[in-house]
Amino acid sequence: MARRDPPKSRTASKELRRQQLIDSTIDSIALRGFSETTMANVAEGAGLSRGIVNFHFQSKDNLFEETLRYLAEEYRSVWQRALEGAGSDAATRLEALVAAEFHPQVCSRKKIAVWFAFLGEAKSRPTYREICGLRDREHRNVVDGLCAAIERDGGYGQGRAEQVARSLAAMIDGFWLDQLIVPEVCSRETACETALAFLGLVFPKHFPIRDRSAA
């Protein structure tokens, strides 16, 4: 007898429960911190049994690793969607990437708190470093390429593209930290506009600084 595929509803239920547990892990790390998050409170937050957590992830380490992978893939999906909708112009694509950094799906106090929690553990956990490193390298390569293309197109002088890309990344990291610590000081919108203003200083032909007071 031919083997039947599982009913779609059963597959959907399994995927839904897995996602519920990952979402609960994100909530718990944001609320309690890394060390205080347990399989028990993840299960409780998801409204599921401890046995369900064990069934899907087997261990706390696996649960945390898959949660980090989910966050990395979510981040990647957000900026790749932004690129897909930006056309072929390098400056437009770079502006779309900057805006994606402050998309509420990834740039929320909860998600940022969890990212920093994982980064704090990455020193002693090679798997975390690998996941975070892959996420950063892929994004960095795209930004480097766009900055280099803008540099060539604008005749800004060679050799600054990588410095601009690193400075932009450091600025965005700082704004993410602001969103976590002092969100009332700088909104996502203001942070995005400030990052674009920086690009206007180094690539003025491609990022003309706008008069925000007229907006």
Q: What is the pLDDT of residue 210?
A: 63
Among 2-6, 47-51, 121-125, 159-163, which is the least confidently predicted range? 2-6
CB of 34 closer than 8 Å to CB of 77: no
Would you state the pLDDT for residue 112? Answer: 95
- Residue 186's pLDDT band, with cuts at 50, 70 and 90, is confident
Cα–Cα distance for residue pair 6/9, rounded to 1 Å: 8
Give the model confidence (pLDDT) of 51-90 as tens digits.
888 888 999 999 999 999 999 999 999 999 999 999 999 9
Domains of the chain: 8-58 (1.10.10.60), 67-214 (1.10.357.10)
Phi-psi map region of 47: left, alpha, beta (phi>0 left; psi -120 to 50 alpha):
left
Q: Is the CB of residue 40 less than 8 Å from the CB of residue 50?
A: yes
**Contact present, 53 and 17 (Cβ < 8 Å):** no
CA angle 44, 25, 69 (to 5 degrees): 150
CB of 161 within 8 A of CB of 98?
no
CB 17 within 8 Å of CB 52: yes
Q: What percent of the chain has pLDDT over 70?
A: 92
The model's confidence at residue 132, banded by pLDDT at 50, 70 and 90, is confident
- Angle CA(129)–CA(188)–CA(175) in degrees, nearest 5? 45
State the average pLDDT for the chain. Answer: 89
What is the pLDDT confidence band of residue 195, given thresholds at 50, 70 and 90?
very high
Which pLDDT score, from 0 to 100, does residue 92 have? 97
What integer pLDDT is reported at residue 134 of this predicted model? 85
CA distance 154 to 18: 48
